[in-house]
């Protein structure tokens, strides 16, 4: 079913394998992958997390499971917990684009923008197919938008503080006003 790209049958097969207690890490990883949809609720994210944790228990060297777990933890607002699996995936497969982009997502959530940019750039350099390249490029565009938004937010906050009489905020915002 997976080879035929029949997601409905594949999802049912992997779910059944997990239900029967498969000892194959890929079964849990793929069950988690086929369950993923944008904007899942907390219970669904928890179930995916459990599948990925079980996949890692079965095969601690399965880098994709570590990266996906990092993404799920980040989606659950647990970025600090996501850092270790993201770094582990990179350590296991340093030449894989997906792991670098997943690490970049965690770093961004931890407000480590420059490190996130570096990891995303490396992810783009390592991309060896259209899917990886597209994923890395989209994430870099997201980082650029995020940085612009953060800069604008900082300027607005500084301008508001300056209007409130904060001399330090005025000193920070003045060069931006002069530049404009």
* pTM, to two decimals: 0.84
CA distance 145 to 137: 12
> Cα 149 from chain centroid?
19
Structural contact between residues 35 and 11, judged by C-beta atoms closer than 8 angstroms: yes
| Mean pLDDT on 91-104 | 97
- Per-residue pLDDT band for 95 (boundaries 50, 70, 90) equals very high
Radius of gyration of the chain (CA): 20
Instruction: Identify the pLDDT of residue 159.
Output: 78
Where do we find the tokens 């899917």? 131
Structural contact between residues 101 and 135, judged by C-beta atoms closer than 8 angstroms: yes
Where do we find the tokens 């990883």? 29
Tell me the CA distances in angstroms from 3 to 7, 9, 10, 36, 129, one per residue in order.
10, 11, 9, 19, 19
Nearest to 103 by CA among 92, 91, 87: 87
pLDDT per position as a tens digit, 130-161 = 999 999 999 999 998 988 887 778 777 777 88
Q: Which residues contact 33 (CB under 8 A, 6 or more apart)?
A: 68
């Amino acid at each position: 079913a997976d080879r035929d790209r029949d997601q409905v049958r594949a999802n049912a097969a992997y779910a059944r394998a997990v239900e029967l207690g498969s000892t194959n890490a890929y079964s849990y990883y793929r069950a988690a992958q086929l369950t993923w949809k944008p904007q899942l609720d907390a219970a669904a994210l928890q179930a995916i997390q459990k599948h990925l944790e079980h996949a890692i228990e079965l095969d601690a060297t399965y880098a994709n499971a570590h990266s996906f777990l990092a993404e799920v933890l980040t989606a659950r607002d647990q970025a600090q917990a996501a850092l270790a699996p993201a770094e582990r995936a990179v350590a296991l497969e340093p030449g894989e684009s997906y792991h670098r982009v997943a690490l970049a997502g965690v770093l961004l959530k931890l407000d480590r923008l420059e490190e996130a940019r570096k990891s995303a750039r490396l992810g783009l350099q390592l991309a060896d197919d259209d899917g990886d390249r597209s994923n890395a490029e989209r994430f870099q565009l997201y980082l650029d938008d995020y940085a612009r938004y953060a800069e604008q937010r900082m300027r607005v906050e500084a301008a508001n503080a300056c209007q409130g009489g904060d001399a330090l905020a005025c000193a920070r915002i003045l060069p931006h006003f002069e530049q404009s």
